[in-house]
Amino acid sequence: MTTIDNHKYQTNQINLYNGDVKLFQHKDTGRWYVRIWIQEEQKYYQKSLRTRDEGMARRLGENEYLEIKAKRLTGRKLFKVKLHQVIDEWLKTQMQKVGVSITEGRYSAIKTQTNWLKKFIVKDINIEDVKGDIFLGYYKWRREQRHDVQNVTLVNEKATINAIFKYAMKKGYLTQIYQTEFQVIQKNARRRDALTIEEWRKIYNTMKSKEFLEDGDAVLKVRYFIRDFTVLLANTGLRFGEARRLKWRNVKKVKSHNRENKNELMEIELFADMTKNKKDRIVQGMRGDVLDRIKTYSNYKSANDYVFVDNVSGNQLGRDYYYRAWKQMKLMSGLIDSDKEISFYNLRHFYATMRLYAGVDSRSLCENLGCGLQYLEQHYGHLQTKMMRDKLTKGIDKETKHLLERE
C-alpha cells in the first residue's frame, strides 16, 4: 500500500496487474475507487467500489478489470459516445473514399444528408439514447423544412442514416443491434417535369433583369454567376454538381462544323472524379459566348480556377447562393405558384427534351448526358413515342388523326 500525498482526495493507493489497475481510497469518505487507463479510447475509467474494506476492494477491482478486458476483446466501448461525434467520425471515413470509390459530388451530397440528421436530432445526445422509432417522423419533418423534397431524396437520406448506425455498431458504440424505423415510401423512378418554352423564357428573362442581378452582392457578382450557370445547364445538360466543379481547364469554345449553326459552341471535358458514374466524358453544348461573358466579371480565370467561383476566396460558389437565387427567381417570375416542381435539375431535362425534338439520336444524347439508354427510355420514352406518332400520322387528315390520338 502506498500513501499519496499530492492528491487532496486520495489517501491510500493499491496497484494491481502491474499497475494497469489502481485502487485508491477517498480521503473523506473512506470508500475505495478503481481507476483503469483505457488505451483504445484514451481515457481513464473510474468507478466507486462502494466499500471501505480493503480486501473487498481488491476483489471488486479485479472483477471490474476482467469485465472491462472482456468488453475490449469484443470491441465494445466503455464510454458513451455522442451522436454528432459519430456522424463526424463517419463523415471522415467517407472523405477518405473521395477519388477512390466515391466522387467529390457524392461526398458533398452525403454531408448535406448528415446536416439534415443533425438538425432533426438537434440535442447532441448519446447515440445509445437515440430510439429507432424517432425516425417515423423524419419524412414529415423533412417535408416541413422543404415541401418540394422528392421521395428519392428521402430514401437516400434514410440509407445514409442507416449507414451511420451500422458504423456505430461496428465500432462498438452501440451495445445491441440497432434498427431504425421509417415510414414506407416508394423510390419511384418518375418522368422528369419538362420546362415549357414559356417557363424557360420567364426564368431567363428574370435572371438577366437588373432587378435580379443587383439583388445579390453586386461586388461578388454572385447573381451574374448564377445567371450564366443556369444558361450553361440549359444548353449542355450537365448535372448541377458537374457544373459546379468545372474549372477553366475543362471548358473551351469551339466552332460549329454546321454551316447553318453560326452560334458559338462550347466543349466540356469532364474527368471521372467530376461525374456521377465515375467516367470521363466530353460534352458538346451551345452558347460558348457565355464563357467570354463570365470572364468579364470573374476575378479567377486561370486554368485551375473554378468557373463558378467565390470572387473573394476563389473557392467553389457555395450551394446556398444557388438555392437562394433560384427561390428569388421563382418569386420574381411568378413560377413560385406553379404546380410543377421547378429546380435546377429541370434544366437538364429541358436540354434533353429540346435535343430530342431537334432530332438528336438517343445514343448521342446519352453520351452527352452521361446516362444509359435504359435511363433515357425510362424518363423520356413518352416524348419519343409522341414524336414517332407525329411522324407516323403526318399527312393524315385532322379528323382521322384526332381519332388515333384518342385511342
With helix as H, strand as E and coil as C, how does 272-303 read? Answer: HHHCCCCCCEEEEEECCHHHHHHHHHCCCCCC
- Total residue count of the chain as it appears in this document: 407
Average pLDDT rounded to a whole number, residues 340-352: 87
Query: Is residue 267 within 8 Å of 283, Cβ to Cβ?
Result: yes
pLDDT band at residue 393 under the 50/70/90 scheme: very low
* Dist. CA 402–CA 209, nearest whole Å: 42
* Dist. CA 354–CA 352, nearest whole Å: 6
Q: Which CATH architecture has domain 197-377?
A: Orthogonal Bundle (1.10)
pLDDT for residue 232: 96
| 214, three cell numbers | 443587383
Q: How many CB atoms lie within 10 A of CB 298?
A: 19
Task: Report residue 94 CA to chain centroid gap.
Answer: 11
Task: Please report, as a single letter, which amino acid is at residue 262.
Answer: K
261 or 59, higher pLDDT: 59
275 or 79, higher pLDDT: 275
Average pLDDT rounded to a whole number, residues 300-311: 95
Lowest mean pLDDT: which of 120-134, 342-356, 374-388? 374-388
- Helix (H) or strand (E) holding 4, with range, is none
| 291, three cell numbers | 464563357
| 232, three cell numbers | 450553361
Lowest mean pLDDT: which of 67-71, 81-85, 120-124, 363-367? 67-71
pLDDT for residue 188: 55
294 or 24, higher pLDDT: 294
Q: Using the predicted structure, report yes or no on whether residue 365 has a pLDDT greater than 80.
A: yes
How far the first Cα of the chain sits from its last, in Å, is 98
* Dist. CA 58–CA 37, nearest whole Å: 17
Query: Is residue 272 within 8 Å of 261, Cβ to Cβ?
Result: no
Q: Where are the alpha helices (DSSP H) in 334-372?
A: 345-357, 362-369
pLDDT for residue 76: 64
* Dist. CA 208–CA 210, nearest whole Å: 7
Q: Which residues contact 156 (CB under 8 A, 6 or more apart)?
A: 109, 113
Task: Please report, as a single letter, which amino acid is at residue 19.
Answer: G
pLDDT in tens, 194-220: 788 999 999 999 999 999 998 766 667
pLDDT for residue 30: 86
The three-point CA angle 276-277-283 to 5° equals: 75
396 or 22, higher pLDDT: 22
pLDDT band at residue 392 under the 50/70/90 scheme: very low
* Dist. CA 35–CA 60, nearest whole Å: 12
Q: Single out the residue of 336, 265, 335, 344 nearest to residue 308, CA to CA.
A: 344
Exposure string for 205-220, b = 16+ CB within 10 A, e = fewer: ebbebeebbebbeeeb
Q: Using the predicted structure, report yes or no on whether residue 141 has a pLDDT greater than 90.
A: yes
Largest CA distance in the chain: 109
No. of H helices and E strands in the chain? 15, 8
* Dist. CA 390–CA 314, nearest whole Å: 50
Q: Using the predicted structure, report yes or no on whether residue 11 has a pLDDT greater than 80.
A: no
Q: Identify the DSSP state of 16.
A: E
Q: Using the predicted structure, report yes or no on whether residue 2 has a pLDDT greater than 50.
A: no
For the residues of 167-195, what is the DSSP string, one character each?
HHHHHTSSSS--------------PPPPP
Average pLDDT rounded to a whole number, residues 255-263: 68
Of the chain, the percentage scoring pLDDT greater than 90 comes to 38
- Helix (H) or strand (E) holding 267, with range, is strand 265-270
Q: Using the predicted structure, report yes or no on whether residue 161 has a pLDDT greater than 80.
A: yes
pLDDT for residue 379: 66
| Strands across the sheet containing 265-270 | 251-254, 265-270, 281-286
* Dist. CA 348–CA 366, nearest whole Å: 12
